[in-house]
Chains A and B, each alone.
Chain A
Amino acid sequence: MQTNFGRSRRALLAATLAATIAAGTVACSDDKGGDAGGDVTLVLNTFGGGAAFAYDDVIPEFEAANPGIKVDYRIVSERFDDQFRPQLLQWLEAGSGAGDVVGIEEQGIGELMALPEYWTDLAQYGLDARKSDFPEWKWNLGLDADGKLAALGTDVGGMAMCYRKDLFEKAGLPTDRDEVSALWPTWDEFTKIGESFKGKAGDAKFIDSPNTIYNVRMIQEAGVADGLTYFDKQGGYVLDKTPAVKTSFDYVMELQNKGLLAGLRNWSDEWNAGMRSGGFATIGCPSWMLGVIQGNSGEENKGNWDVAAVPGGSGNWGGSWLGVPTQSEHPEEAAKLVEFLTNKQGQIGAFKKGGNFPSSVSGSTDPEVKTAANAYFSEAPTGEIFGNSVASFKPVYFGKYHSAVRAVVEEVILGIVEGTYTQAEGWDEFTKQGKQVVDEMGG
């Protein structure tokens, strides 16, 4: 009886494990490996809303150029941070399911590059030759903790300043984009324009939300300085010591005190509605924000929006990378796919399909990208504007826990603006809550 019981218990355990594993991998285990004709099928796991990585047109081009390789292009989930990232960690831990090529968003690049044992060294397939084609900061973020080349850049956000021409006109400001760009070469001048705007265009505020402007300024300041934001390169928590963070935090407080912020939460209904109804006059604009503004503002605002340069000139928000997990059974072919999707042809294909701005130098300076204009935004030469913002951008380092800390400290900024915290206790709360996240992550 005793041994029987032991055996059945073990069998039960085995069955449970088998069921768990089957459930975890059933979605991805069926079509790996070669087909009958010796073909290799590569699984490309990505994420994102709308066009996502926008590879629908370039993958057939890759397949045509590489007979014998097929690509199974998947958009696994809409959001990266709380959907795709945990899923990817699960795949890496389980040792299967991640496929051959995976997309990694800026928010998670620090965390995933801190796990070097899971990434194939792409230099062994010659991809290190691509180094000169990328801005230094984009290239460096794709190096893992051991310093090996683990991921190559796809697109970048870049940075510009979108503004409402109709509100600017009401406030007696120039509306031509070159004149507007000339109004605010620095952030101090941006603030001054805000003050002269205030009260002249009805209830409209000058800036959309505390966190858009905080992010735009913080990343730019970090780039100009040593590239550090919340963590140093040894993984130490330095949020409270980084000048870029403090400068940007204080700047948001200054804007709040001067009454220039609409004080909305990014992505909230009120924020969306504000774009349509003219609740604010400016919004920090990475390239992907153009689509967000267009979608929220609707046809009736076509021509009301325009794009100017961002104060300080440079900036970036967002963008992704492609890496090859070590669990891939076809790393050589996978590296070929990464090479193709991140080169000029692949990046321009994605740009044409989904507007994803090329991160490579050859891609972003190609005439087709450089002369691109956006009809909705009064024919603004977006290709040139975003290209310039990225070319002069300086490297920024993201720590292992960057995105978790970021999520929490941005809530504190919003809390100060909404009145949950006073400004006096704001900075202490800001640094303390960030530290708490680090503790919760396990130090």
Chain B
Amino acid sequence: MTTAAPPVPAVPKPARSRLLRFEQRGMPYALISPYFLLFAVFGLFPLGFTLWVSLHRWRLAGEKEWVGFDNYAFLLTNERFWNATGNTLGIFVMSTIPQLLLALAIASALNKRMRFRLAIRLGILLPMVTSVVAVAVVFSHLYGTEFGLFNWLLNLVGVDNINWRADKLPSWFAISSMIDWRWTGYNAIIFLAAMQTIPRDLYEAAAIDGASPRRQFWQITVPQLRPIIIFTVFVSTMGGLTLFAEPTMFGSGLYGGGTAGQFQTVAMYIVQAFRQRNNYGLAAAAAWLLFLMILIVALINYLFVNRIRGSR
């Protein structure tokens, strides 16, 4: 602490000196402790308790019996769990890659001189403030088979009705479009903020050397944005792999994700396991596998994005 301390007496009293020593050494810890206490209660404890539950056959109003790793073994050989994992990763790739590329392009466009720049920058953030459930409900209607707007538009150009929920790819596409509609603007604003910190003279020097705007973008803007891109990729990974609300609403609020689980994500599998199957042990084990999956995917993404380099 930096409070004006009185001049230290030559021979301090023991108690006083101990207090002073605490103030110097202990105070920083005391001040940051609320965060760690809250984290322990709402983060660490649930994490550990989930691990404990996952090693049991655990039913509400039923047995709580130690089964070791049986739940994990069950999941790793369970067709439906792997199906959910595949769906989650598929929707993640299908939504995140276009989303981040589009956000980058939008940010780059907004970084230019233009009229009504502030209004446009605010507008791009608007989808963020709508509730995710509202978005999902509206999109679910737009993707209706018989009376949906998108099928009506497709009919105009001579394409037959698509049953968006009947197969994997159309349903993934529909869900990805909801995610992107909501999150592209958010990432664009983050990219834009980072772009504005890139020194102008880099571009000026490049322009003098005859670099085209496209080359400037790929060889100055993108490498300079690298830490921010890593950040957005991490956040998108966590959000994408725990995807729940959009596919649930898309499937009329059911956790099954379509007639054959075409768009059931791991998060939906977890909720289904404890709410409909009353199998808390299985749900807890699936939650831990999801946690590990996020760590692995985040690591892969990090290694991948880390390869972005400046001009060589």
Contacts and interface: CB of A to CB of B under 8 A. Distances in A.
A411 B276 contact: no
A266 B279 CA distance: 27
B278 A89 contact: yes
A436 B279 CA distance: 13
Contact of B282 (A16, A81, A407, A442): A442
Given A12-B40, A89-B61, A269 B276 contact: no
Interface in B271-299: 273-279, 281-282
Secondary structure at chain A's binding surface: helix, strand, loop or mixed? helix
Contact of B61 (A115, A270, A419): A115
B166 A419 contact: yes
Given A267-B252, A439-B74, A442-B57, A420 B167 contact: yes
Interface string B242-266: 0000000000101110111010000
B146 interface: yes
Nearest to B65: A442
Instruction: Identify whether the interface residues of B are mostly helix, strand, loop, or mixed.
Output: loop
How many B residues are at the interface, by size bracket? 35 or more
A90 interface: yes
Contact of B278 (A16, A19, A86, A270): A86
B259 A437 contact: no
B177 interface: no
B252 A265 contact: yes
Contacts of A4: none
17 contacts: A12-B37, A13-B45, A15-B41, A86-B274, A93-B61, A267-B252, A270-B146, A270-B147, A404-B277, A407-B276, A418-B259, A436-B78, A436-B80, A440-B74, A440-B273, A440-B277, A441-B277
B41 to A, nearest CB: 5
Contacts of A16: 41, 45
A25 B259 CA distance: 37
Contacts of B121: none
A434 to B, nearest CB: 12
A93 B60 contact: yes
Interface string B97-140: 00000000000000000000000000000000000000000000
Given A86-B278, A115-B61, A440-B277, 12 more contacts: A13-B45, A81-B276, A82-B276, A92-B60, A92-B61, A408-B256, A420-B167, A420-B262, A437-B277, A440-B80, A441-B279, A442-B281
A13 B78 CA distance: 35
B59 interface: yes
Contacts of B256: 407-408, 411
A404 B259 contact: no
B216 interface: no
Interface in A78-97: 81-82, 86, 89-90, 92-93
A68 to B, nearest CB: 32
A442 B279 contact: yes
A92 B62 CA distance: 10
A270 B279 contact: no
Given A16-B45, A439-B74, A90 B260 contact: no
A110 B60 CA distance: 16
B144 A442 contact: no
Contact of A12 (B41, B80, B146, B147): B41
A441 B278 contact: yes
A90 B79 contact: no
B61 A118 contact: yes
Nearest to A90: B60
Interface in B148-167: 163, 166-167
B282 A440 contact: yes
A16 B46 CA distance: 10
A411 B278 contact: no
A83 to B, nearest CB: 9
B25 to A, nearest CB: 14
Nearest to B274: A86
Nearest to A408: B256
B144 A269 contact: yes
A419 B167 CA distance: 9
Interface string A385-426: 000000000000000000010011001101100111100000
B312 to A, nearest CB: 50
A90 B59 CA distance: 10
Contacts of A82: 255, 275-276
B14 to A, nearest CB: 19
A269 B141 contact: yes
B232 interface: no
A82 B277 CA distance: 10
Contacts of A411: 256, 258-260
Nearest to A414: B259
B134 to A, nearest CB: 16
Q: Across the A-B interface, give the 3 residue pairs with the lowest CB-CB distance, nearest first.
A: A415-B259, A89-B60, A92-B61
